């Protein structure tokens, strides 16, 4: 199974629909991730800096990047341990392409 981890800045919720002004980009990202989980053999993990700080602290590479660059480096998208995007959310098509590449790469024994 492929693992897609999205490290995100502090926010009240990941769906984008909390509060009086929904965040259209987060709504699209949430829908894309749901669709990818339906279509691919993928586990999606969303690490929000406010709610999942331990995941940032326990992932040295991500922690170091945030320390060096500040939260503007977020979001960071990681597929099977490889950073595939920084400072931007990928579209459904871009994420699907990354997952297809990861799932077609032979696993090391």
- Determine, yes or no, domain membership for 33: yes
DSSP string, 37-96: HHHSSEEEEEEETTT-HHHHHT-HHHHHHHHHH-GGG--EEEETTEEEEESSPPPHHHHH
- Determine, yes or no, domain membership for 108: no
- The structural domain count of the chain equals 1
pLDDT digits (tens, 9 = 90+) for 6-41: 999 987 665 555 666 777 899 899 999 999 999 999
pLDDT digits (tens, 9 = 90+) for 37-53: 999 999 999 999 989 99
* pTM score above 0.85: yes
Q: Residue 22 belongs to a domain with what CATH number?
A: 3.40.30.10
In terms of residue numbers, what domain contains 47? Answer: 2-86
* Helix-then-strand count for the chain, H and E: 4, 4
Give the burial class of 76: count Cβ atoms within 10 A of its Cβ; 0-12 exposed, 13-18 middle, 19 or more buried: buried
Torsion of CA 39, 94, 45, 58, to 10 degrees: 150
Tokens 């691919």 — which residue?
A: 40
pLDDT digits (tens, 9 = 90+) for 58-104: 999 999 999 999 999 999 999 999 999 999 999 999 999 999 999 87
Residue 109 pLDDT class (50, 70, 90 cuts): very low
């Amino acid at each position: 199974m492929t693992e897609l981890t999205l490290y995100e800045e502090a926010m009240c919720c990941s769906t984008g629909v909390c509060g009086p002004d929904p965040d259209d980009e987060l709504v699209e990202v949430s829908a894309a991730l749901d669709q990818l989980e339906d279509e691919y053999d993928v586990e999606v993990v969303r690490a929000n800096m406010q709610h999942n700080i331990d995941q940032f602290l326990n992932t040295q590479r991500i922690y170091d990047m945030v320390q060096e660059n500040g939260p503007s480096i977020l979001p960071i998208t990681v597929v099977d341990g490889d950073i595939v995007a920084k400072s931007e959310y990928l579209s459904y098509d871009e994420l699907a392409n990354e997952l297809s590449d990861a799932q077609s790469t032979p696993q090391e024994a």
